[in-house]
Structure 1
Amino acid sequence: MGHLSTHVLDTMNGCPAAGMAVRLERVHADRVETVKTLQLNHDGRNDGGPLLNAQEMAVGRYRLVFAVAAYFRARGVVLPEPAFLDEVPIDFGIADAAGHYHVPLLASPWAYSTYRGS
């Protein structure tokens, strides 16, 4: 049964990015649709489980948008205006609606990385 999940680690402080705002979007040829907005829990994950469950999974283009600057400012980090990284978008495709897609983010105010997790 397919599903989509995410997890964010704050590499500046060495902890999960608790409280970071995340937006999941579906990218269509002519428009972008917001599917879900959420705030990450104490473990840097979605409290409600998968972002898309087996019934919601569909082949297509998607985008996760992570509010990195707002998260670090809320933690007391002084960032320039504009911040080097504000929102971090990760565009990805779901080719198999029955597959498990995990999109983790490792983030600091100055760098980020991602990969397809398990």
Structure 2
Amino acid sequence: MPSVTTHILDLVHGRPAAEVSVCVYFIQSETKKEKLNELKTNQDGRVDEPLVRGADFKQGEYELLYNVGEYFGQKGVQAGEPPFLTKVSVRVALSAAEAHYHIPLLISPWGYQVYRGS
């Protein structure tokens, strides 16, 4: 069964990023996207259930939108005024209907890295 999950690591504090809001959208066109789900990460920096799974999975382009500015603001991390990063948008094209896609995100208030995990 296809699924999409994520995991966020806070590089400033050296631990998983808990309570980060993550929205996932299916990109229908450059001007239209469909919101599929919104979850918060748990204490391990992971979502408790897949962002997309089973019948909700469609081949195509997805956007994961991570609310990192709010997260670092709640942690008291000064990242400028206004903060340099407010939201991190990750757009990926997913094709295999039988695949599991895990998308880890490493964050700081000034940068991020994303990759396809296992």
Structure 1 length-normalised TM = 0.93
Whether 1:16 and 2:47 are equivalent positions in the alignment is no
Name the residue aligned to 1:85. Answer: 85
- 3-state SS in 2 of match to 1:101: strand
Per-residue deviation, residues 59-111 of structure 1 (Å, max 9, x unmatched): 01100011111100101112322211110000001111111111110000011
Report the CA distance between 1:2 and its aligned residue. Answer: 1.7
Match for residue 64 of structure 1? 64
Counting aligned pairs with the same residue, the percent is 40
Please state if 1:55 is matched with 2:55. Answer: yes
Structure 1 segments unaligned to the other structure (5+ residues): none
Q: Aligned residues, how many?
A: 117
Give per-residue Cα distances to partners, 1:36-57, cap 9 Å, x unaligned.
111111011112x211122322
Q: Which runs of 4+ in 1 moved over 2 A?
A: none
Alpha-carbon separation, structure 1, partners of 2:103 and 2:19: 17
* Residue 45 of structure 2: aligned partner: 44
CA contact (8 A) 1:22 1:67 kept: yes
Which residue does 2:3 correspond to in 1? 3
> Over aligned residue pairs, what C-alpha RMSD do you find?
1.1
The structure where strand makes up a greater share of residues is 2
Provide the TM-score with structure 2 as the length reference.
Answer: 0.93
